[in-house]
Amino acid sequence: MEWLEASTENCPVQRALDVVGEKWTLLILRDAVNGVRRFDDFRRHIGLSEAVLSDRLRKLTSAGVLRTSPYREPGSRSRNEYRLTRKGWDLWPVLVALSQWGETHALGPEGPVVDVRHTDCGSPVRVAVQCSAEHTDLSPGDVTATPGRGARPRHRPASRPDPHG
């Protein structure tokens, strides 16, 4: 089966984008990775409306990417903090890869906003695609993509009769 013959209904990229494919969602995750936990802090830092933020936090929580943890400041009502789950932390390499791409192709003249380095040696962190056996970096020309066991044939739309005969 060729790629164009395969259905994309079960595509993991498509399913991931259903959860994190909106701009604001990725920015919420960026902030959560950097320690932001409270609604008002997300809203102020990212600059989005309460309605959009509420919607995105609700979606991330129901998808199991964030979990809520109640807190209460003296004299205030109980509120929730938002913390990354293991599933949420598994998105960290995706955010680092997006940042890496942005630094290469979309960086402003001021330079990067954050400098991510390995704590032990101080070297910059980068995301790479590697062979799981050899642990060597790979380029697109080094790999072969074939339909996986979840691939299904794409359903072709039924042909319609030509109204012009």
Residue 41: CATH number of its domain: 1.10.10.10
In this model, does residue 156 exceed pLDDT 80?
no
The CA distance from 111 to 101, in Å, is: 13
Q: Which structural domain range is residue 26 located in?
A: 3-105+114-142
- Domain assignment present for residue 162? The answer is no
Domain count, the chain: 1
Q: pTM, whole model, 2 decimals? A: 0.83
- Domain assignment present for residue 21? The answer is yes
- Domain assignment present for residue 32? The answer is yes
Residue 80 pairs with which residues in a beta bridge?
A: 70
pLDDT in tens, 16-31: 999 999 999 999 999 9
- Domain assignment present for residue 148? The answer is no
Specify the pLDDT at position 42: 97
Phi-psi category of residue 52: left, alpha or beta, with phi > 0 → left and psi -120 to 50 → alpha: alpha
The CA distance from 52 to 67, in Å, is: 18
- Domain assignment present for residue 153? The answer is no
Specify the pLDDT at position 76: 87
